């Protein structure tokens, strides 16, 4: 299980030339369960969007293991709850990677949707319109959709927001099941207690990577203090980060690179890969 599933090479992602994820290097091992921790604005969501390819890197690259499929549950779903859809319609969208635009849904597909609803505790909700669901029920339904997607890599962006303790416990159990099945799971979480109890590995971000490795080592007080002390604002007068292999972007975190060759020598924070 030491095979790399996701590889980041000097990855910089951002908006309007301002980096939100800055020079990230490292690999996510196949079958690992990683918590993505950091303050608001530290680049967690941006990193997930970069992994699924919704935003393109400003420099560097993300490579995914060949043939690995990804399921992504965004923090702010663009789900239109006024749309006349039933819970079963929503969850069946997870069949898309398998059936695509025109593929016929089989009895087996319907069975997988039904078992996903059962697994998240929403049996009997099949024909409920989505606009009648509570926040927690909707989150369970979205987890069911991830289940149906049956993906190798699962990205969950702050899935426990506005969800009660019982639902968090149920969803954590599902995440544990995915980990047990050898899927690669990355979850953005704020609750450090949850991270310590349930996530073997942690990537701590403050726009740039602060620490990455076994959770107990990463969540040490000095790391957390450093993660808190980053500058969230953008500076239009920030110096340009000289491009290695892409368009330039501005530096906002106050560090300057030496004039040449920063990819090798200039980084204050050497990128850390989790041990095998």
Partner 1 sequence: MYEFFIAPFAEFDFMRRALAGSLMLAMSSCPVGVFLMLRHMSLAGDAMAHAILPGVATGYLLFGLEVLPMSAGGLVAGVVVALGAGAVSRFTVQKEDASLAAFYLISLALGVLIVSLRGSSVDLMHVLFGTVLALNAAALTMIALICATTLLLLAIFWRALIAECLDPLFLRSVSRLGTPVHFVFLGLVVLNLVSGFQALGTLLAVGLMILPAAAARFWAHRIETMCALAVATGFVSCIGGLLLSYHAALPSGPAIVLSAGAIYLASVLFGSRGLVRARTSQHRHRTA
Check residue 36 for interaction with partner 1 (CB under 8 A).
no
Give the one residue of 1, 40, 67, 78 binding partner 1; rule: CB under 8 A. Answer: 78
- Residue 86, interface with partner 1 (CB under 8 A)? yes
Please give the full DSSP string across 128-193, using - where no structure is assigned.
SBGGG--HHHHHHHHHHHHHHHT-SEEEEESTTTT--HHHHHHHHHHHHHHHHTT-EEEEE---HH
Q: By CB under 8 A, is residue 80 in contact with partner 1?
A: yes
CA–CA separation, 85 vs 47, rounded Å?
A: 30
- Binder among 68, 85, 271, 272 for partner 1 (CB under 8 A): 85
Find all residues with CB under 8 Å of 132, minimum gap 6, and list them: none
17/273 with CB nearer partner 1:
17
* Stretch of 19-27, 96-104, 171-179, 242-250 lying at the interface with partner 1 (CB under 8 A): 96-104
Query: Does residue number 89 form part of the binding site for partner 1 (CB under 8 A)?
Result: yes
61 interacts with partner 1 by CB under 8 A: no
List 2, 56, 63, 96, residue binding partner 1 (CB under 8 A): 96
Q: Which of 100, 193, 247, 259 binds partner 1 (CB under 8 A)?
A: 100
Looking at 68, 93, 168, 224, which residue binds partner 1 (CB under 8 A)?
93
Under rule CB under 8 A, residue 149 binds partner 1: yes
Size of the site for partner 1 (CB under 8 A): 25
Nearer to partner 1 among residue 80 and residue 236 (C-beta) = 80
222 part of the interface to partner 1, by CB under 8 A: no
Helix (H) or strand (E) holding 225: helix 221-228
- Secondary structure element (H or E) that encloses residue 117, with its range: helix 107-119
* SS3 of 2-34: CCEEEEEEEEEEEECCEEEEEEEEEEEECCCEE
State whether residue 210 is helix, strand or coil. strand
Structure token pair of residue 99: 């059936």
**Beta partners for residue 29, in sequence order:** 4
Integer angstrom CA distances of residue 88 from 75, 159, 171, 221, 252: 21, 20, 19, 45, 45
Among 40, 67, 101, 276, binds partner 1 (CB under 8 A): 101
Per CB under 8 A, 214 contacts partner 1: no
* Region from 80-88, 113-121, 159-167, 254-262 binding partner 1, contact rule CB under 8 A: 80-88
Q: Could you give the CA distance from residue 169 to residue 177 in angstroms, rounded to a whole number?
A: 12
Among 11, 37, 90, 195, binds partner 1 (CB under 8 A): 90
Q: Which stretch binds partner 1 (CB under 8 A): 66-74, 178-186, 231-239, 246-254?
A: 66-74
- Residue 178, Ramachandran bin (φ over 0: left; ψ between -120 and 50: alpha; else beta): alpha
Near partner 1 by CB under 8 A: residue from 40, 66, 102, 237 = 102
**Interface residue list for partner 1 (CB under 8 A):** 52, 54, 70-72, 74, 77-80, 83-86, 89-90, 93, 96-97, 100-102, 129, 145, 149
């Amino acid at each position: 299980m030491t095979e790399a599933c996701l590889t980041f090479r000097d990855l910089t992602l951002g908006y309007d030339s301002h980096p939100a994820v800055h020079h990230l290097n490292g690999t996510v091992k196949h079958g690992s369960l990683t918590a993505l921790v950091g303050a608001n604005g530290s680049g967690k969501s941006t990193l997930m969007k970069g992994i699924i390819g919704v935003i393109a890197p400003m420099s560097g690259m993300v490579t995914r293991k060949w043939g690995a499929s990804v399921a992504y549950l965004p923090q702010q779903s663009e789900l239109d709850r006024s749309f006349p859809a039933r819970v079963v319609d929503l969850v069946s969208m997870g069949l898309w990677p398998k059936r695509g635009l025109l593929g016929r849904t089989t009895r087996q597909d319907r069975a997988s949707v039904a078992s996903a609803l059962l697994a998240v505790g929403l049996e009997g909700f099949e024909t409920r319109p989505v606009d009648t669901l509570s926040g927690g029920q909707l989150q369970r339904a979205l987890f069911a959709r991830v289940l149906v997607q049956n993906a190798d890599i699962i990205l969950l962006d702050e899935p426990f927001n506005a969800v009660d303790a019982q639902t968090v416990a149920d969803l954590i159990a599902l995440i544990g099941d995915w980990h047990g099945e050898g899927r690669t799971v990355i979850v953005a979480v704020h609750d450090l207690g949850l991270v310590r109890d349930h996530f073997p590995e942690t990537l701590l971000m403050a726009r740039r990577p602060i620490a990455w490795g076994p959770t107990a080592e990463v969540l040490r007080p000095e790391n957390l203090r450093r993660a808190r002390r980053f500058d969230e604002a953008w500076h239009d007068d920030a110096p340009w980060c000289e491009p290695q292999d892409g368009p330039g972007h501005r530096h906002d975190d106050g560090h300057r690179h030496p004039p040449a060759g920063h990819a090798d020598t200039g980084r204050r924070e050497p990128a850390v890969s989790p041990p095998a």
